[in-house]
Structure formats: C-alpha cells, structure tokens
Amino acid sequence: MSRVREFPLPDLGEGLTEGEILKWLVQVGDTVELNQPVVEVETAKAAVEIPAKWAGKITAIFHGEGTVVEVGAPIFAVDTDPGAGDLPEPSAASLAAVEVAPAEGAVEPGLIGGPAPGGRTAVLVGYGPRTGAAKRRPRKGAAAPNGVPVASPPAAPNGVAASGAPTATPATEPVPPAVTAEPVPPAAAAAPAPRTGGTAAAPGALVLAKPPVRKLAKDLGVDLRTLSGSGPLGSITRDDVHLAAAGAATEAEPATAGTGTSAPAFGPDREQRIPVRGVRKLTAQNMAASAFTAPHVTEFLTVDVTRSMKALDRLRGRREWRDVRVSPLLLVAKAVLLAVGRHPMVNSTWAGDEIVVKKYVNLGIAAATERGLIVPNIKDAGRLTLRELADALTALVQTAKTGRTAPADMSGGTLTITNVGVFGVDTGTPILPPGESAILAFGAVREMPWVHKGKVRVRQVTTLGLSFDHRIIDGELGSRFLRDVGDFLTDPEAALLGWT
C-alpha cells in the first residue's frame, strides 16, 4: 500500500454534490494528527471543518481557497509514514501523459477505450482494447487535408461552446480523414513560460500533467503545450498554470494609456460579479420552489405588547434568569408554540394526496449570516420549558453567527419565525420554507400612540405578519392562529393561566 493517501471531499450531508474551500488550516509540509481539523469547507447547508482521516505529513494540497470542489474529488494528500525517509521521485508512468484538450468525439484519458497512465488502454473486464484510432475533428482555424478551412460551431454566450444533439452527416457528403496531430496555429501567441529550465512541448507531442492540473488548465483556458514544466521530469504543475493564466490576463488588458479617451461613466468595468453558490445558491432554489409551488397568503396583526415587555423586565430581574439572554423573541416563540397546541393543522405539510400533521414542533428561527440566510430549528421545541427555550434560542443564534450550524440542525423544520424587527422593520410577507405551512414575521417594537382603556396613551406596539399555505390553512384557521399569538403577546401572564 502506498504511503501517500489522497483524501477526497466527503458528502457532508443529504446528498450534497459540491463544496467550496473556505480556509486551509494546514500547509504542505505540516504534520497532522488523526482527526485534526485540516480544512474548512462551505456547502449549501453550512460551513464545516473536515478532520484528517490519517496521521502523517501533508504532501499536497490540490485546491486553493475559494475553489468549488465536487464531492469525491481529492483535496489533499498525506504521507502516512513520514519517518520512513523521502518519497521516491515520481516516474513518467505515474503521471498522466495524454494529449491536451481532446476534441469533441475523442475519448478522454482514463475512460473506457481511452489512454491510461503507463501507455495502457482502459477497457471493460472481458473486452479487449479498441483497435481503431480515435478520430478527432480539427480545431477552429485548423485546415483540413484538402486545404479548405473547417468551420467551427458558433460560441454560445460567455464564451462557452454551444452544445446540442449531433447533426447527421448526409451520405453524399465526403467524410474528411481523421486528424492525428493538431499543429498550434502560428497566429496564437504562446503564454510566457512560468519557470525556466524546461522546454515547451512540440505540436502534437505528449504533455506530462496530472489530472487536477489538466482540469485547472481547461478551466483557466491555458494551453499546456505552450508551457515549460517545472515539475519532476518536466511535468506541468499547478503553479505553472496559474502563472501562465496571470500572464495571459495581463497581456489581454487593452492599452488605454495615451489614447486620450476617458473611461466610461458606467459599464462592465464598474460592475461586481458574485458567484452564486453555497448557502445563497440553496436558499435561492428553495425560495423559488416554494414561492411558485405553495399558494401564499399573508395576514397582518398589530398588537400592544407593553405587558410583554414588562414581563421580560421582571424575568430579567429574577436571580435564576440573570445570566440568561432574554429577548422579545422568546415570548413570540412561546406564543407560537402554545397557539400550535390550539391549532395543530398549522404545523403540517402538504404531501400531495394527504396532509401530514406533525405532533411535534421543530421551531425554525431565520438567521442572517455573512454567507446568507439560514433557518436552523429547535428540535421538539414544544416540550421545552421557558428557561430551556431561552437557552436553546441563545445557542442557536450564537452558532449561526459563527457559521458553525450543523446541516442536521437545518433540516426537519415544521414552523418558522423570522425576526425582521431587529433591523427596524415593521413587518413583511415572508416566503414559506419548503415543506412548511406557516411562517411568522415579528416586526420592530415601537412606542406609538394607542387607545388604552378609553384614552390615547404611549404604548409599545408591534406588527405580526403570518404567511401560510392556502392549500392547508384557510383564512379562518390562519386568522384564529394569528389572533391567539397576538392575544398571548398582549397579556402573556393571563394567557399562560388560561391556556395551560
């Protein structure tokens, strides 16, 4: 067994297909212990730290910070026996020596029928290698054997080649012979060699590069045949590709100095493009799916919460509550949980041919983080005492702010509260989290003139907004649920005495 073990990106929960490298906690050459955190990865659910599966010495890091990696792709390598001496130099057979950027129709290296490391041909068990030579279409700008230029398909927007179903060739149309070598067009300017000491590969020659390096070059648009490798046996390394890409980008910048033209007042040069991935990508997908699947209805209720605010003040003054974070959200959560006991249908899910009514409440709390909106939930919140609920809310918010919310804590929610009041907003029309039938928006608590006992007085007032799935909750049920939440916040002590 090889001393060097490659660690693939694991599936971090619920069938996620990719993750973004946020931060490396180690460097090449560091010695790590078993289960020591090595890298921080963000998925569509949360940011998590991945521990080392083996103890040893980090020999390679395959992806830099900010790179999106598919699940199963290797992200780092560990020498599991660093005390056994230096690792042997890699041979040419251990590097993937393949032609770079195969044309459409050619077999990729390592696939069935294509070249494999060591000059072998990858085949299925029980089948021999394919005897015919792989045919390749000439690249754009390359001439056919008869001297007639070959037309290339038009490029799709953003520089991505247009793809579609292959067009059948008429029987009367002559088929050009297979192209066995692709000369580099003389007009193409070669990217500067990132390092000295090597020579660029000749046209049609084989290039030494590992699969991750080839993929990186393909993503950055770098022709590996124009580079001088600085790795073992002249192989191309990741640094070679990055330096070549940086040099090409510098040369591609238009020379505006001395032209006498001023920069445009607006345009692409003053736009910022932010990749949509991770938490924000999943949030966008879920919100779009929910908004156009469940018929939303939103109702509003403005309530006097002066007594609730006084009750919180008395709660903070009690000796056993002095070290507990107490906020109006605590009473709103308690009001929702008690109202669900009166109206169980609000805590349900539409399942097509049936409605699933949950006998437990996994209370979700929408939290805004640097990476986007997440909705962790408190499991079986209806069974918690008021003190336990306060502790759970505090832990949930603190964990969310640090970006350490586990994927399991964001799944299985049944009912959600979004506290827009912390931003000074009166209320809103929230969108339902997928699979839930109701979400409550809690607005800002403000001092306002209010008719109290027949006189206009300054009272503390807030506005609640309840969005619900009209397939499950009709107007009467939604109104009764919202009224009960409002009644609790208007006089929480009387409600607790009468409802429990």
Q: Please provide residue 116's backbone torsions phi and psi, each rounded to the nearest 5 degrees.
A: -125, 165
Q: What is the pLDDT of residues 370-422, one digit of tens each?
A: 777 889 999 999 999 999 999 999 999 888 888 788 878 888 999 999 999 99
Q: Are 226 and 184 within 8 A, CB to CB?
A: yes
Amino acid code (one letter) for 304: D
DSSP letters along 320-351, please?
A: GGTTS---HHHHHHHHHHHHHHH-GGGSEEE-
Which superfamily does 196-250 belong to? Answer: E3-binding domain (4.10.320.10)
Look up tokens 């692709």; give the residue.
182
Q: Are 106 and 134 within 8 A, CB to CB?
A: yes
pLDDT at 160: 40
Q: Are 387 and 393 within 8 A, CB to CB?
A: no
CA pair distance 467, 325, nearest whole angstrom: 28
Helix (H/G/I), strand (E/B), else coil: 121: strand
CA pair distance 297, 475, nearest whole angstrom: 8
Residues of the chain with pLDDT under 70: 1, 12-16, 44-46, 85-205, 248-267, 269, 498-500
DSSP 493: H
| CATH no. of 4-82 | 2.40.50.100
Q: How far is CA 27 from the centre of its chain?
A: 24
Using the CB atoms, write b or e for 59-94: b if 16+ within 10 Å: bbbbbeeeeebeeebbbbbbbbebeeeeeeeeeeeb
Which tokens sit at 364? Answer: 């979700």
Residue of 242, 296, 343, 470 with catalytic role: 470
Alpha helices in 152-271 (DSSP H): 211-220, 238-252
CA pair distance 224, 220, nearest whole angstrom: 11
**Average pLDDT of the residues of the chain:** 76
Return residue ranges of the chain for CATH 4.10.320.10.
196-250
Return residue ranges of the chain for CATH 3.30.559.10.
278-499
Using the CB atoms, write b or e for 341-367: b if 16+ within 10 Å: eebebbbbbbeeeeeeebeebbbbbbb
Look up tokens 């970006």; give the residue.
403
pLDDT at 171: 41
Q: Please provide residue 94's backbone torsions phi and psi, each rounded to the nearest 5 degrees.
A: -85, -10
Amino acid code (one letter) for 157: P
Q: Are 227 and 193 within 8 A, CB to CB?
A: yes
pLDDT at 300: 97
Q: CATH topology for 278-499?
A: Chloramphenicol Acetyltransferase (3.30.559)
Q: Are 403 and 6 within 8 A, CB to CB?
A: no
Q: Are 97 and 213 within 8 A, CB to CB?
A: no
pLDDT at 135: 46
pLDDT at 224: 83
Helix (H/G/I), strand (E/B), else coil: 188: coil
C-alpha distances in Å from residue 52, one per residue of 42, 44, 84, 421: 17, 22, 20, 42
DSSP letters along 50-112, please?
A: EEPSS-EEEEEE-S-TT-EEETTSEEEEEES-GGG-PPPPPPGGGS-EE-SSPPTTSPPTTST
Helix (H/G/I), strand (E/B), else coil: 29: coil
SS (H, E, C) 275-299: CCCHHHHHHHHHHHHHHCCCCEEEE
Look up tokens 């003040």; give the residue.
313
Return residue ranges of the chain for CATH 2.40.50.100.
4-82
Burial class (CB in 10 A: 0-12, 13-18, 19+), 325: middle
How many CA atoms within 13 Å lie on the side-chain side of 378?
25
pLDDT at 267: 66
pLDDT at 143: 45
CA pair distance 339, 290, nearest whole angstrom: 24
Q: Is 296 a catalytic residue?
A: no
Burial class (CB in 10 A: 0-12, 13-18, 19+), 389: buried
Q: What is the pLDDT of residues 112-151, one digit of tens each?
A: 445 555 545 444 444 444 444 444 444 444 444 444 444 4
CA pair distance 399, 315, nearest whole angstrom: 24
